[in-house]
Structure 1
Amino acid sequence: MREVEITEPLVRAMRIYRRVARHDLDQGTRRELARHIRGLAEQGVRDPGRLTVCGLSYLRQLERQRTPERSS
């Protein structure tokens, strides 16, 4: 999949995440997201909607990994 073809799902995932999380992604996270979506596209995922959803799931996974669990 060409770079241009991942642009739409990448931008859409970042926009949705920004609205839900109420903060922007840092440059490193944006790069990781782009790599993830590009990797899926190279594996044959072609549907832009599916790429967007997978991107959002990936961001959620990253957020969980980076957020320390609180002790009760």
Structure 2
Amino acid sequence: MEAAIDRIMQTYDLLANRTAAASEEARAKVTNYLNTLMEAGEKDPHRLTVCGLTYLRQLDGSVDPVKAGYTGL
């Protein structure tokens, strides 16, 4: 799981500049989230990585279509 968390954080930090405190907070949140997924039976590190990145992007609002400029037209 540690490899998945490291990959998530490396990729997530490339998406935008964040403070060290924000990165540590994100690491703690994604670690808790991945623990939940693993307890539910997910073991594939690639799938955990994708789920973790999706989770962090949802938390910071970067997958919100309205914020991304999508108007539906």
Q: Same fold (TM over 0.5)?
A: yes
Q: Percent identity?
A: 35
- Secondary structure, aligned partner of 1:26: helix
Deviations 1:28-67 (A, max 9, x none): 22111100011101100010000000000001011018xx
TM-score by length of 2: 0.73
> How far apart, in 2, do the equivalents of 1:36 and 1:22 lie?
22
1:49 corresponds to? 46
> How far apart, in 2, do the equivalents of 1:22 and 1:28 lie?
14
Aligned residues: 62
- 1:35 to 2:32 alignment: yes
**Runs ≥4 in structure 1, deviation > 6 angstroms?**
none
> How far apart, in 2, do the equivalents of 1:45 and 1:28 lie?
23
> How far apart, in 2, do the equivalents of 1:28 and 1:16 lie?
15
Q: What CA RMSD, in Å, does the superposition of the two structures yield over aligned residues? A: 2.1
Code of the residue aligned with 1:29 in structure 2: it is A
The runs of 5 or more residues in structure 2 that have no matched partner are: 68-73
Kindly indicate which of the two structures has a greater share of residues assigned to helix: 1
The runs of 5 or more residues in structure 1 that have no matched partner are: 1-5
TM-score by length of 1: 0.74
